[in-house]
A = this chain, B = another copy of it.
Amino acid sequence: MKALVFHGPGSRSWQQVPDPRIVDPTDAIVRVDAVTICGTDLHILKGDVPAVEPGRILGHEAVGTVVTTGSAVTTVKEGDRVLVSCITACGRCRYCRESAYGQCRGGGGWILGHRIDGTQAEYVRVPFADTSTHLIPAGVDSEAALMLADILPTSYEVGVINGRVRPGDTVVVVGAGPIGLAAIMTAQLYTPSHLIAVDLAPSRLEAAKQFGADLVVAAGDDPLESVAEVTGGLGADLAIEAVGVPETFELCTRLIRPGGRLANVGVHGAPATLHLEDLWIRNVTITTGLVDTFSTPTLLGMVAAGRLDPARFITHRYTLGEMEAAYKTFAHPQQTAALKVVLSRP
């Protein structure tokens, strides 16, 4: 089959590789019908994720069709259309038993396109298929479902649920890239009164409005002032960090009211300063987290019921064979305005 292979920092190719086969009785082989690219894939290609070794097939998001299953697999079978989640769950360890699949201690967690071969390929082996794939309900478009492989559950679980959004809240989302926009989309499931987006790029703020922000704070504006204005000077109930640099995290700590929450979704590479001399007395709650994908079945149901339209994230479409072109588009969002690209089996 063909697959996107990582050859070390800066180097990748869409090339011929051996087909995957069943290794463990809990495995399934899935034919990839649609796949997408994640910001993390770009980090891997830069060499930022040393655990990824040369020769690895990248990708951790896919919609596909089950081709074969191991002898222990009971909930999916040949021909089923499934979502392959970014998180693999052994379903047996302490963390999986508490639905914290992202922290799986039994061989799962984020492994696809990381520690084992991934989904940017014609076929993929999915370990622990019973607990790591999701049947796609009839009537749910494959492309829409694909958005539930990573980006939507990430922002929903780590931003919105960890941040405990409640009806009537004022929520600020700092960073309006795909992850921030997904936080804006899913925060609305709890009907906040105000949903404020902060970013430097005018195009992203325009997207934030279209995804449901009722107020945007542009470069040059003071986010503290904007938030103070709609909250009577008090501060936001929740700030969602969706950038991943110290400055935006520290901004979030200043944007929230006494008793407020800060939900970090951004991937950080450096420490931040935590101003405990101010914060110790302010009753704040700060959370971090990797996605667990426990919400994926719920989100699939909401797409089926017409309550969520994740296909709005898709700005570009390719065939699987156009992998190189898709990467180029996705790697330059300033030029291409790409949010998510989808590559489909022709």
Contact = CB atoms under 8 A, between A and B. Distances in A.
Interface of A: 24-26, 70-72, 74-75, 90-95, 97-100, 102-103, 106-107, 130-131, 166-168, 188-191, 193-194, 214, 244, 246, 249, 258-259, 264, 266-277, 279-290, 294, 297-299, 301-302, 304-305, 307
Contact of A273 (B90, B269, B273, B279): B273
B99 A74 contact: no
A168 B301 contact: yes
B279 A284 contact: no
8 contacts: A92-B131, A100-B258, A168-B299, A193-B302, A264-B276, A273-B273, A276-B288, A285-B285
A129 to B, nearest CB: 10
Contacts of A302: 167-168, 191, 193
Given A97-B99, A286-B285, A288-B282, A307 B72 contact: no
B273 A271 contact: yes
A93 B272 CA distance: 34
Given A75-B92, A92-B91, A190 B193 contact: no
B294 A288 contact: no
Given A194-B305, A271-B273, A302-B193, A266 B287 contact: no
Given A258-B95, A283-B100, A274 B273 contact: yes
